[in-house]
């Protein structure tokens, strides 16, 4: 192109007089009064004269300035204003940077959004704890679009065979968070934490390596003697454990028992859905012994919970009964008494299986049986729980 490349690098270096010095085709070297030098590209867009800054001579050489000027001229030739193009590019970079949310930020947002729908505070705490322990060290500070399969494998492999249950939960939680991130537009493509059709080709199925570990359950033949020993002890944890066993309940449901849930006249305890594993309200028939224990428990004034905790107005910890068991029967755990109850009911009574399952608040698996057993079979369950109480506290003292 004629009339370009008028300046020489040596001349550009020597120029000190303030003013503008043309290189041709719209490229100018501008020297300020203070002595600083910078490059400008002058062009006409939609009838207006405009100037695009190309940078300081200190950082942009003559050769580089000519390349930038040519790129700007090409845009003008295509009818594009290079200043507007530069602004649009800068805005896109800002938007892209804003979308580079890290996994930890996305996880915290996911938990804040979904936490209110989860069963209880313990479930929320487990989410936060497992992610902090197993996911954040590897992908916590990684931007969502950059998370890939090798990263997921790196954090899962160390626990996949040693802590299979935890590993399965971590994988599922990561998958949920990344799915949500994709829905929000913060990442694209396949989910690297997806199991079916992806990680199932890279890791062994948990069902193949997971050793089924049942909660240690005391033989029902030993229960009368054990309950007699508990009866001789004092303490809120002791009374809570007795009621736990009498009602074949889960720890999480029992420790939160409140005044408004117990109807002494009707002899029933209504466990709200929020404390049930099934997420459904559960009615528990109360035996004479259970009623007697609840009425005898020493209560904290103003505390609606039957089994008061250490903090004012709270209930006992979910570890309180486990700690007690380590002293009175270290080979067993509180949850195991549900298995003890099941063994006793199935082996020593004629109670139908579905009644036992409903007493345990288990979901009935068969669709046909679920449809047939729509009621709570409450009176049959009351008979069963009264028989269980009588077995636990026989009139004749155990030897």
Question: Does 3 have pLDDT greater than 90?
Answer: no
Taking only the tens place, the pLDDT of each residue in 251-285 is: 999 999 999 999 999 999 999 988 988 788 899 99
Q: What percent of the chain has pLDDT over 70?
A: 91
Confidence at 38, pLDDT banded by 50, 70, 90? very high
Token pair of 336 as six digits: 């195991």
Q: What angle do CA 16, 17, 22 make, to 5 degrees?
A: 95
Taking only the tens place, the pLDDT of each residue in 85-136 is: 888 877 766 555 545 789 999 999 999 999 888 767 777 888 998 999 999 9
Could you give the C-alpha distances from 11 to 6, 26, 44, 137, 233, in angstroms and in order?
10, 18, 28, 56, 100
**Structure-derived torsion over alpha carbons of residues 250, 255, 256, 258, reported in degrees to the nearest 10:** 110
> For the purposes of burial, counting CB atoms within 10 Å of the CB of 372, is it exposed (0-12), middle (13-18) or buried (19 or more)?
exposed
297-303: long-range contacts, CB 8 A cutoff, minimum separation 24: 297/236, 297/239, 298/236
Q: 124: Cβ–Cβ under 8 A, 6 or more apart, which residues?
A: 111, 115, 118
Question: Does 395 have pLDDT greater than 60?
Answer: yes
Domains detected in the chain: 9-98 (3.30.160.390), 103-209 (1.10.150.130), 220-392 (1.10.443.10)
Pairing of strands 48-56, 37-45: antiparallel
Question: Does 372 have pLDDT greater than 50?
Answer: no
Sign of CA dihedral 164, 168, 173, 175: positive
pLDDT at 339: 92
Q: What is the DSSP letter of 308?
A: B
Whole-number mean pLDDT of the chain?
Answer: 88
pLDDT at 214: 53
Q: Under a CB-based contact definition with an 8 Å cutoff, are residues 230 and 328 in contact?
A: yes
Angstrom distance (rounded) from CA 338 to CA 110: 34
Q: Which residue has the higher pLDDT, 280 or 385?
A: 385
H runs (alpha helix) in the chain: 9-14, 62-77, 82-98, 103-114, 121-130, 136-139, 149-160, 164-183, 206-209, 223-231, 236-247, 251-255, 288-296, 320-328, 336-348, 353-359, 367-372, 378-392
Angstrom distance (rounded) from CA 80 to CA 58: 28
Q: Under a CB-based contact definition with an 8 Å cutoff, are residues 289 and 389 in contact?
A: yes
pLDDT at 319: 92
Taking only the tens place, the pLDDT of each residue in 60-81 is: 999 999 999 999 999 888 888 8
Only one residue has tokens 């409140």, namely 258
Q: Under a CB-based contact definition with an 8 Å cutoff, are residues 339 and 217 in contact?
A: yes
Q: Mean pLDDT throughout 332-356?
A: 91
Start-to-end C-alpha separation, the chain: 112
Q: Which of 141, 139, 180, 143 is nearest to 156 (CA)?
A: 139
Angstrom distance (rounded) from CA 52 to CA 43: 8
Taking only the tens place, the pLDDT of each residue in 189-232 is: 999 999 999 999 999 998 877 554 555 789 999 999 999 999 99
Angstrom distance (rounded) from CA 216 to CA 340: 9
Q: 50: Cβ–Cβ under 8 A, 6 or more apart, which residues?
A: 42, 43, 44, 81, 83
CA atoms within 13 A on the CB side of 316: 25
Q: Under a CB-based contact definition with an 8 Å cutoff, are residues 146 and 128 in contact?
A: no
């Amino acid at each position: 192109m004629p009339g370009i490349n008028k300046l020489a690098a040596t001349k550009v270096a020597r120029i000190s007089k303030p003013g503008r010095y043309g290189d041709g085709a719209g490229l100018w070297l501008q020297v300020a009064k203070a002595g600083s030098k910078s490059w400008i590209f002058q062009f006409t867009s939609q009838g207006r004269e405009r100037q695009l800054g190309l940078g300081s001579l200190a950082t942009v050489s003559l050769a580089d300035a000519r390349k930038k000027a040519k790129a700007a001229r090409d845009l003008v030739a295509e009818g594009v204003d290079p200043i507007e193009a530069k602004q649009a590019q800068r805005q896109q970079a800002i938007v892209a940077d804003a979308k580079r949310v890290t996994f930890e930020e996305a996880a915290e947002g996911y938990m804040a959004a979904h936490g209110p729908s989860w069963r209880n505070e313990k479930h929320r705490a487990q989410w936060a704890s497992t992610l902090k322990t197993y996911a954040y060290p590897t992908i916590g500070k990684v931007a969502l679009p950059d998370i890939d399969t090798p990263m997921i494998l790196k954090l899962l492999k160390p626990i996949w065979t040693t802590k299979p249950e935890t590993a399965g939960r971590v994988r599922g939680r990561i998958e949920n968070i990344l799915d949500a991130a994709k829905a929000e537009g913060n990442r694209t493509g396949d989910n690297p934490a997806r199991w079916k059709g992806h990680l199932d080709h890279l890791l062994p199925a948990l069902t193949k390596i997971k050793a089924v570990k049942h909660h240690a359950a005391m033989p029902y033949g030993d229960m009368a003697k054990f309950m007699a020993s508990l009866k001789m002890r004092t303490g809120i944890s002791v009374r809570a454990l007795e009621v736990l066993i009498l009602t074949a309940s889960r720890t999480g449901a029992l420790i939160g028992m409140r005044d408004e849930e117990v109807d002494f006249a009707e002899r029933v305890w209504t466990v709200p859905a929020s404390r049930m594993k099934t997420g459904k309200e559960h009615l528990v028939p109360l035996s004479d012994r259970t009623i007697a224990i609840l009425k005898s428990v020493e209560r904290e004034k103003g505390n609606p919970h039957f089994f008061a905790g250490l903090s004012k107005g709270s209930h006992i910890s979910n570890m309180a009964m486990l700690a007690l068991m380590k002293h009175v029967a270290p080979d067993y755990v509180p949850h195991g008494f549900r298995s003890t109850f099941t063994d006793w009911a199935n082996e020593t009574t004629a109670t139908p299986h579905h009644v036992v399952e409903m007493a345990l608040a288990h979901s009935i698996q068969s669709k046909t049986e679920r449809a047939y057993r729509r009621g709570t079979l409450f009176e049959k369950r009351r008979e069963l729980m009264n028989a269980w109480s009588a077995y636990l506290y026989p009139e004749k003292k155990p030897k």
